[in-house]
Chain A
Amino acid sequence: MLHANEDAGQQTDETLAGFAVSLSLVDVPAVVALPSNEQAASSFYRKLAEGYSVQQAVTAAREALRTSTGNRWQQPLVYLRQKDNQPYVLLQRPAVVSEESQ
């Protein structure tokens, strides 16, 4: 999985969406583009560590952006390369641990 952090402050002449699609088409299972924001990145990884799917982790990052920046919540992108729409979980957790940490 590649998690590409978009750094809007730097010279970028190509959209991350285009690059993300290129990666998906060569079978990278998940490509996530997040703006540079420590809270968003932290929320994203913490959710993965709690056993949530990539999809839910990106939503958590989106929420964090809405809280911390107000206007960049649209920017996280997630591309999945898989058969159907099932959650893509990277780490299994026992139910009791994850529920406690919610």
Chain B
Amino acid sequence: MVSYEEVVTKYPYPLARPLWRVTFTERSTGYRDPSSYARLSEAIIKYLTALLVGQYAAAGTTDFALNQQIRGLRQATAGTWAAALRAMFKYLTQPGKNLLMPEFVLFYNKPLAPNSAMLTCYQTVKNMFRLNATQPQAVNNFIDFMATMRNKVMHDAGRSDAQRNELATVMRAAIEELLSELDFLLVYWHMAITNVQVISQQHELYRYSVSKVTGMEIEPREQPNDSSLILEPERVYVNERHQSFAPLFSLEPILVYRRCSDCNDQQPQTFLANETSGQGSKYLSYQCSHTIVLTGADDPFNQLAIPTTAASPATEPVALFTEPDLPQLVLDFGNPQPDGSYWLGITSPRGENLSGRYKLPFEDNCIEAVARAINARRHADYPLVERLVRPGERKTVLLNCLRTLGLWDESHNAVVADVEQRVGKLLGNSLLADTTFKGQLSKLRHAASLAKGGSVVLIFRSEAAHKLATLPWELTLDSRQPLLHKGEPLLGCTRIIPANQPPPEPHPVGEQLHVLLVRAPLNGSPQAAAEALTASLNSLPDQSLAVELLATPTLSGLCERLLEEPTVDVLDYRGVVSAGSLLLTGQPPVSVSELLKLGCQS
């Protein structure tokens, strides 16, 4: 077991100094603050990532996805850092790759003992925050858990002093245990290059002044070192084990060595990547809590994977996947005209801008009735169970619409059984009445058969046209066949309600897409199907999807998860939609505005 004194005197400065700082503050104030340990957890995850990124960079940065993942660390969450650490480890431990610090494998994969302080910490944090987190089996699992723990603790409020003290105590014990497992760092001393002199250009010999980046204080080493190696000033290097001067790799771009402009101290210190700023990359000191911003050529991220030779694989621009450009027929619904028809902008599959008219085959006030009739008929128990009329609702208008349109079966006092076909016919007749559209539709089918795909895009541009967006356009019939499926291939159909903004930026290569499944069963349990889907998608070879099932499908459970990291990209809800709200288990309905509020807060 490595003692606290050994860590703060012999471990690398980026670990030793933050631990010392937390301890010093605690002793000064007499108060244990879990937030300090949350920050320390973050510093440890980042430092470990710096170690592996440094080894990866020394090997040539030839993996495009990993390079993107490293660049993504400039605006990463704690969970993203832990994921990057895992990805780096996986890459560097593949056959044929060279992990310069082989001891890292044993450390990272070391199983946790039953009496481990890390397990105690996990259990305490899990119980206190009611987390649905899997019990860590090895150090690497605990590092992942640290990211969650960091987020929980940093956003925590309203806990009693006793609970905070308990939290801080178990966190400290776990961190000390984790640091103890890093004892191999004792033989890899870290140094910063502070000055470079050329001794002999002919023999390519340089004289390096260095500072020892070990323990609580960074101190200059008295003796300079002569070497033919080309090392960069203002960088921290990890030295080969037990060697006096044999740099293995630098810790840039994750860790940089600079002077803090907010501190009076002239001595540079270490900073870890934190976030992007408007101009460049922002780095945070876990010693003084100040930040620096590095821009342009001084920004190490800009230099990552920049080619050193034309033949380097990293120099070759890697093309991003773009899906095939398939033919489309675009219908743009504009404002209603005096005769009640809508102006229709038509963009042909060849890109020509045309125009037409569209007249609804029923009154506007029947749109909802049509949609509800189709919806009712999709329930197997209708009409035995009333699905059309809401309790207490006057049904006169509803039924008048359905009767007028031939969608009401008087003999059974129910929506006609073939309502989808009848509505499809109504929509088809009205849409195909425009000859321009009809002509372009046949051109779309021809183009789609050649391109093996195509789609109809419906844009509801005017506010008045928004109500048309709820119509079941996919049911539209062309003669007796579905408009989207009259021959091969099956056409796609997309609805757009225009806004000023383009679609959000995609995640860069190497990042994961986070999907949260919310299953709120009223009858039976769809959990098994959700678990099967989760397992199947999480096992995709490149782990591009991270799918999780919300353990507690309640409003508070959903809210908690949305506030946590990693940020949810896709919320996949299965349950009941009623009166503009989602029904969650044992809760009042969650309205659209509440749902949006949750999303905004996250």
Contact partners of A41 in chain B: CB under 8 A: 533, 572
Interface residues of B in 563-584 (CB under 8 A from A): 569-580, 582
A75 to B576, CA, bound (A): 16
Contact indicator B494/A80 (Cβ below 8 Å): yes
A79 to B577, CA, bound (A): 17
Contact partners of B496 in chain A: CB under 8 A: 79-82, 84-85
Query: CB-defined interface of B323-356 with A at 8 Å, one 1/0 digit per residue?
Result: 1000010100000000000000000000000000
Contact indicator A85/B330 (Cβ below 8 Å): yes
Contact indicator A59/B492 (Cβ below 8 Å): yes
Partner of B580, one of A19, A62, A83: A19
A52 to B579, CA, bound (A): 33
Interface residues of A in 86-102 (CB under 8 A from B): 86-99
Contact indicator A42/B536 (Cβ below 8 Å): yes
Partner of B570, one of A1, A24, A25, A58: A1
Closest-by-CB residue of A relative to B388 is: A13
Contact indicator A75/B506 (Cβ below 8 Å): no
Contact indicator A91/B506 (Cβ below 8 Å): yes
Contact partners of B470 in chain A: CB under 8 A: 15, 17-18, 21
A78 to B570, CA, bound (A): 14
A91 to B570, CA, bound (A): 12
Query: CB-defined interface of A1-18 with B at 8 Å, one 1/0 digit per residue?
Result: 111111111111111111
What does DSSP make chain B's interface, helix, strand, loop or mixed? mixed
A64 to B375, CA, bound (A): 22
Query: CB-defined interface of B508-537 with A at 8 Å, one 1/0 digit per residue?
Result: 110101010000001100100100110011
A81 to B507, CA, bound (A): 18
A86 to B573, CA, bound (A): 26
B contact residues, total (Cβ < 8 Å)? 89
Give the distance to chain A from B145, nearest Cβ to Cβ, in Å.
25
Give the distance to chain B from A51, nearest Cβ to Cβ, in Å.
4
Closest-by-CB residue of B relative to A37 is: B529
Contact partners of A7 in chain B: CB under 8 A: 526, 574-576
Contact partners of B547 in chain A: CB under 8 A: 45
Contact indicator B453/A59 (Cβ below 8 Å): yes
B28 at the interface (CB under 8 A from A): no
Contact partners of A36 in chain B: CB under 8 A: 526, 529, 574
Contact indicator B455/A59 (Cβ below 8 Å): yes
Contact partners of B507 in chain A: CB under 8 A: 90-92
B258 at the interface (CB under 8 A from A): no
Contact partners of A91 in chain B: CB under 8 A: 506-507, 511, 513, 544
Q: A49-B544, A82-B503, A91-B513 are in contact. Are A58 and B492 (CB under 8 A)?
A: yes
Contact partners of B385 in chain A: CB under 8 A: 11
B59 at the interface (CB under 8 A from A): no
Contact indicator A82/B502 (Cβ below 8 Å): yes
Partner of B457, one of A81, A85, A88: A85
A58 to B536, CA, bound (A): 19
Give the distance to chain A from B469, nearest Cβ to Cβ, in Å.
5
Contact indicator B498/A82 (Cβ below 8 Å): yes
Contact indicator B328/A85 (Cβ below 8 Å): yes
Interface residues of B in 477-502 (CB under 8 A from A): 482, 484-485, 490, 492-502
Contact indicator B576/A78 (Cβ below 8 Å): no
Contact indicator B321/A13 (Cβ below 8 Å): no
Contact partners of B506 in chain A: CB under 8 A: 89-92
Contact partners of B536 in chain A: CB under 8 A: 42
Closest-by-CB residue of B relative to A23 is: B592
Contact partners of A2 in chain B: CB under 8 A: 570-571, 573, 595
A3 to B572, CA, bound (A): 5
Contact indicator B371/A90 (Cβ below 8 Å): no
A62 to B547, CA, bound (A): 21
A93 to B532, CA, bound (A): 25
Contact indicator B492/A55 (Cβ below 8 Å): yes
B205 at the interface (CB under 8 A from A): no
Q: A12-B576, A14-B579, A26-B593 are in contact. Are A83 and B499 (CB under 8 A)?
A: yes
Query: CB-defined interface of A60-73 with B at 8 Å, one 1/0 digit per residue?
Result: 00110010000001
Interface residues of B in 8-38 (CB under 8 A from A): none
Give the distance to chain A from B350, nearest Cβ to Cβ, in Å.
15
A85 to B542, CA, bound (A): 29
A41-B533, A87-B503 given; 5 more Cβ-contact pairs under 8 Å: A14-B375, A14-B577, A17-B471, A84-B498, A97-B65
Interface positions of B (Cβ within 8 A of A): 64-65, 68, 318-323, 328, 330, 368, 371-372, 374-375, 378-380, 385, 387, 390, 420, 453, 455, 457, 459, 466, 469-472, 474-475, 482, 484-485, 490, 492-504, 506-509, 511, 513, 515, 522-523, 526, 529, 532-533, 536-537, 540, 542, 544-545, 547, 569-580, 582, 592-593, 595-596, 599
- 14 inter-chain pairs at a CB distance below 8 angstroms, sorted by A residue, are A4-B574, A12-B387, A13-B387, A14-B578, A15-B374, A17-B371, A19-B577, A19-B592, A21-B469, A52-B323, A58-B494, A59-B492, A75-B474, A82-B499
> Which 4 pairs between the two chains have the least Cβ-Cβ distance?
A98-B321, A5-B574, A59-B492, A88-B503
